[in-house]
Amino acid sequence: MPSSRTRLIAGNWKMNNDVPAAKELAEALVEKVPAGNGVEVVICPPTIDLACTSHKIADSAIKLGAQNVYWEEKGAYTGETSCSMLKSVNAEYCIIGHSERRDYFKETDADENKKAKALIAAGITPIFCCGESLETREAGEHVAFVTAQIRAGLEGVAVESADQLVIAYEPIWAIGTGKTATAADAQEVCGAIRATLVEIFGEELASGIRVLYGGSAKPENIAGFLAEEDVDGALVGGASLKADDFAAMVEKAGE
Ligand code: PGA
């Protein structure tokens, strides 16, 4: 990994932790996650926990991300959360395009595209997720599938500096299953993602955009992924719910 890209470890809490539990985990993370080791750290709690988590991490180096957003500014969209609402709790990142949202909530590439545009316009960095199913991988179509998701999701998205966008490659078959991709599997797709970013945004910008791996990433396997040229960090689900594990991953990313 060229030294110009700061490693990023992002925790995706998914639908876990009510407000008291979120406060407790945030406090433990502030205490345990190493600061000043050159790794950027983001936690993405459920929407209901954003405000209290923001408060708990305010004096730490840990940054806040959301798990979802709606692209309209305000109005009659029951149950949704706008970019300005995320900004009001100091969220700097927002996960979009996660396979769980694509699968369970039927979000499309066009939806992710609108979310990416709204977030970037609001000054929030999308963590744009992509990844193939087991069936697609077994058919040998994973690279074509993932790069098509990137092209469709980022069509017409105006990125002016590399810190305005993060990509997370998460093979669906490795999410929450305990099955991880090999480091070489991750590099194959992350390298193809970078090549696609070069086509879309040009060499200079694309070489600075962070591409993360996600899918059963944990303290025991993170170093292998990070050793790959185009893997700049991890989007961590299960292991981000345990302060000790998450802190250990940040520590390893700083080595
Ligand atoms: P996992 O989830 O680490 O529990 O596999 C990763 C993710 O879905 O972001």
Dihedral angle, C-alpha 22, 172, 191, 159, nearest 10 °? -50
pLDDT score recorded for residue 176: 83
**CA atoms within 13 A of residue 231's CA, in its CB half-sphere:** 26
pLDDT score recorded for residue 81: 98
Percentage of the chain lying above the pLDDT 70 cut: 99
Residues in the chain: 255
Determine if ligand 1 sits within 6 Å of the CB of residue 216: yes
19 within domain boundaries: no
* CATH of residue 156: 3.20.20.70
Atom of ligand 1 nearest to the CA of 177: 5
pLDDT score recorded for residue 179: 78
Dihedral angle, C-alpha 182, 145, 231, 11, nearest 10 °? -90
Atom of ligand 1 nearest to the CA of 176: 5
Q: Decide if pLDDT at 244 tops 70.
A: yes
25 within domain boundaries: no
Longest dimension (CA), the chain: 48
At 34, give phi and psi (nearest 5°): -65, 140
Residue reference for tokens 């985990």: 25
3 within domain boundaries: no
Centre of ligand 1 to C-alpha 254, Å, is 21
User: Number of folded domains in the chain?
Assistant: 1
CA pair distance 28, 37, nearest whole angstrom: 18
Centre of ligand 1 to C-alpha 119, Å, is 22
Q: pLDDT tens across 21-60, in order?
A: 999 999 999 999 999 999 999 999 999 999 999 999 999 9
57 within domain boundaries: yes
pLDDT score recorded for residue 180: 80
Give CA separation, 67 vs 80, 89, 101, 218, in Å: 12, 13, 10, 20
Mean residue pLDDT across the chain = 96
Task: Show the domain range for 235.
Answer: 8-13+30-253
Tokens of 218: 């944990």
Q: Strand locations in the chain, DSSP E?
A: 8-12, 40-44, 63-66, 91-96, 125-130, 166-169, 210-214, 233-236
pLDDT score recorded for residue 178: 78
Centre of ligand 1 to C-alpha 69, Å, is 19
Tokens of 147: 């790069």
Report the catalytic residues: 98, 170
pLDDT score recorded for residue 1: 43
Task: Name which residue sits closest to atom 7 of ligand 1, judged by CA.
Answer: 237
pLDDT score recorded for residue 2: 45
Q: Decide if pLDDT at 200 tops 60.
A: yes
**How much is the CA Rg of the chain, to the nearest whole Å?**
17
pLDDT score recorded for residue 74: 97
Cβ atoms of residues 82 and 69 within 8 Å: yes
2 within domain boundaries: no
Q: pLDDT tens across 104-143, in order?
A: 999 999 999 999 999 999 999 999 999 999 999 999 999 9
1 within domain boundaries: no
Q: Decide if pLDDT at 3 tops 70.
A: no
